[in-house]
Amino acid sequence: MLALVTGPVRSGKSGVALRLAARSGREVVVAVGGRPDDEEMARRIERHLVDRPANVLVMDVTPSPAWVAEVPEDVCLLVDCLGTILGQAVAELVDPAAETVSARAEHEVERLADSLVGALLARDGDTVVVANETGWGVVPPSPAGRVFRDVMGRATRQLADAADVAVLVVAGRCVDLRSLPKETEWPR
């Protein structure tokens, strides 16, 4: 079973995903990424760790998809969150001070994202992925921000297309994306 839990920042995605993973009846392993590059980010990471139940195993991961194969199939893998993991890839591959992103760096970020999504889609065990919805606001002013937004949008769409469960969490409420049409009709 593959589930996608997406939505804006602080919408309640992590709580919804953790409760969903717990309903699997399996041990839950939470894959977290990101780097505590500053004090504020370190506090955010610590808050996420404190908010999880003691019986949940936390696994620190990188953007490289190799870690997905290390998670046993008989546990429920909770990726929280894909945006932080892919953000790490952008931070490692794109110079934040650059006025443009090289085609090579953009391609490498896209390749890593595609590889990670592919590994998650190929996983036989239960998997819940938390993903940030990006691109609902202004166009990011930095090239790195635009690459991140594009990669996240594409990855989230791929996961939603393949997921058994796909929900958008807004203001703590879940909207079932699988029940919505992918196309719309011209009004008559």
Rg of the chain over all Cα atoms, to the nearest angstrom? 17
Strand order in the sheet with 28-32: 57-60, 28-32, 76-79, 127-132, 2-7, 165-170, 173-176
What residue spans define the domains of the chain? 2-179
How far are the Cα atoms of 2, 94, 123 from residue 143, in angstroms, in the given order?
Answer: 32, 9, 32
Burial track 146-178 (b if 16+ CB lie within 10 A, e otherwise)? bbbbbbbeebbebbbeebeebbbbeeeebeeee
pLDDT per position in the chain (188 positions), as tens?
999 999 998 899 999 999 999 999 999 999 998 777 778 877 877 776 777 777 888 899 999 999 999 999 999 999 999 999 999 999 999 987 778 999 999 999 999 999 999 999 999 999 999 999 998 888 888 899 999 999 999 999 999 999 999 999 999 999 999 999 999 999 98
Answer CATH for 2-179 from 3.40.50.11720, 3.40.640.10, 3.40.50.720, 3.40.50.300? 3.40.50.300
* Alpha carbon distance 110, 90 (integer Å): 9
